[in-house]
Amino acid sequence: GQNIDQPTEMTATEGAIVQINCTYQTSGFNGLFWYQQHAGEAPTFLSYNVLDGLEEKGRFSSFLSRSKGYSYLLLKELQMKDSASYLCAVLDSNYQLIWGAGTKLIIKP
């Protein structure tokens, strides 16, 4: 079966750095997406990785290791508005997106 694992919930302090991990086991791999979803709202696209390595975009970075079936999203200089769920999704060999359950990130002052 296809599976994506993320921690259910994480807590971090405003101004700090947090790393949200995602491990996956899918039938094939055509890329990995990270989305942010505020409560009651739609997911919004954050990043896409298809090759190994780190992609940096402002305060957010995403890392991929295809051999390990592993990715992480790194958030720096945390702000209260970063409190949200972060969804990891993998594009499988049939170009279907397989979604993780999401990690709820709580930012404390």
Partner 1 sequence: DGGITQSPKYLFRKEGQNVTLSCEQNLNHDAMYWYRQDPGQGLRLIYYSQIVNDFQKGDIAEGYSVSREKKESFPLTVTSAQKNPTAFYLCASSIEEYNEQFFGPGTRLTVL
- Contact call for residue 21 and partner 1 (CB under 8 A): no
CA separation, residue 33 to residues 15, 73, 102, 104 (Å): 25, 10, 12, 17
Q: Report the residue number, 21 or 96, with the smaller CB distance to partner 1.
A: 96
CA 46 to chain centre: 8
Which of 20, 24, 43, 73 lies at the binding interface for partner 1 (CB under 8 A)?
43
Q: Report the residue number, 42 or 80, with the smaller CB distance to partner 1.
A: 42
Q: Report the residue number, 40 or 109, with the smaller CB distance to partner 1.
A: 40
The alpha helices in 24-63, defined as continuous H runs, are none
- The answer to whether the beta carbons of residues 60 and 75 sit under 8 Å apart is yes
- Contact call for residue 39 and partner 1 (CB under 8 A): no
* Chain position carrying tokens 């969804």: 87
- Give contact residues for partner 1 (rule: CB under 8 A): 4, 8, 30-31, 33, 40-45, 48, 87, 89, 91, 95-97, 99-102
